Structure 1
Amino acid sequence: MLRLLRLLAPYVVWLYPIAVVALLLYLRSWLVASRDLRASLFTLEREVASARMRKAASGAFGAFGALVLLFFLQFYVGRNVDLNEWIRPTPTPEFIPHSAYATVTAPSEDRTPEPLYTPTSRPTRRPTVPPTATEPLPTPTPLEPTLVPPACPNVNARIVHPGQGQVIRGTIDIRGSADIPGFQFYKVELGLGERPVRWTSISDVHRNAVSDGLLEVWDTSDLPAGSYSLRLVVVDASGNYPPPCEVVVTVTH
């Protein structure tokens, strides 16, 4: 407990405002998510809004708990701690007396005769062979996973990225082709799971044909982690459309 008090004492002036601001931000996020939940018409939108509400509520409880912990440490624990425990006594060095006089050893009368010089043999130097430098082995390059495009029957109405079963996160580009004869518009839809019973359009319909290019930009940061299905629907001028192209992906965070 003393270590925690020593760690928080210099920053307690800043920790209170930070915790209060975090609490207010999480409460605002919860209110916005609650409003979106009441205005949602589709099941997927309700699940996304509910996940945002739970996330905001967890953050608000964490910020409130931090405020309670700071208040408890400052006004309860801080007043009941003995300040003498904070002060570590400085050890006093022991005084060791030193002799003011040095002991001088009298030279001995008997001197040992110095030995005569004896020549020593020196070893013969042998030429050293430098070690042969060995070439370093090449570092294997990691192989990137191969993307498997979905099996779409019409090459003019298909998705080529993301691939079938690909794990994605954040914002991704959905690429492919939407250029059938008599093109009118196309849309990219989203469904929950591998076999959705309901589809929701990611954005508005697009009235410009695309050939091997960018179809849609999809932000997955607000979606719960799990499996989702994407579907490309391309409609011609008569209102007909070929079989939609579907791909299953996994969203992670």
Structure 2
Amino acid sequence: MANLLKFLIQFEFFFYGILAVVLFIYLRKLFATYRQWKLAYFGLEKELAQAEFNQNLTVVIISLLMAAGLFVLTVIVAPSVPGVQTLATPTVNTTSQPSVEMTAPSAATIPSATTTGFIATLEAAYGQGCVPDQINWTEPRSGSTISGTVILKGTVNVTSLGYYKYEFSPVGDETWTTVAAGNQPVQNDALGGSWDTSNMTPGDYLLRLVVTDSKNQEYPPCTIQIKITAPADR
């Protein structure tokens, strides 16, 4: 299922193009045969025009159903299937030499030690990019150790929620793998689905919660670091 969805996502515009061409051709035929049927005087002529009209109408309906099915699979079903959407973080170009203009910061732009310490404390407790009571993790917390099958809990409570998903990536890796997704607000409760870590390589991982609004605009991801250990019975 996951491989099929990846294939459809990769070539979805190609399929849409083919369906659009088919619809254009058979809609023209449909209107032409309709005019023939209206202008026909003899019974046999009307029957032939009616049969051709029905054939063209069938092709149009099937093409529309295929386009609708492709849309449902790539836009609605795919985000909720684990492992379908693997996002690569863009590679930073380290060969360029940008010019940097050094300016002395004013006193107003220098963060105080108190402010810096408060932000660091929040990030340590909730994770980077997390907002308490809006987008944050409840279980596990940043720095936690997990093993086996776990139920991930958190909060997704934003205005005009579109959908959310949670993903993992080994620390130092640049790819993210989707575990599960949902489209209903959650308040300190299960985010949907379970995560089986039994067959994963033990080590440090990043876990992030990605929330998108109804206009397909992403909020800053809520990212925490966790450690995965092998189950005790292994």
TM-score tier (shorter): 0.3 to 0.5
Higher relative contact order, chain-length normalized (CA < 8 Å, sep 6+):
2
- Give the TM-score normalised by the residue count of structure 2: 0.42
Which structure dedicates a bigger proportion of its chain to helix? 2
**Larger Cα Rg: Structure 1 or Structure 2?**
1
- Give the TM-score normalised by the residue count of structure 1: 0.39
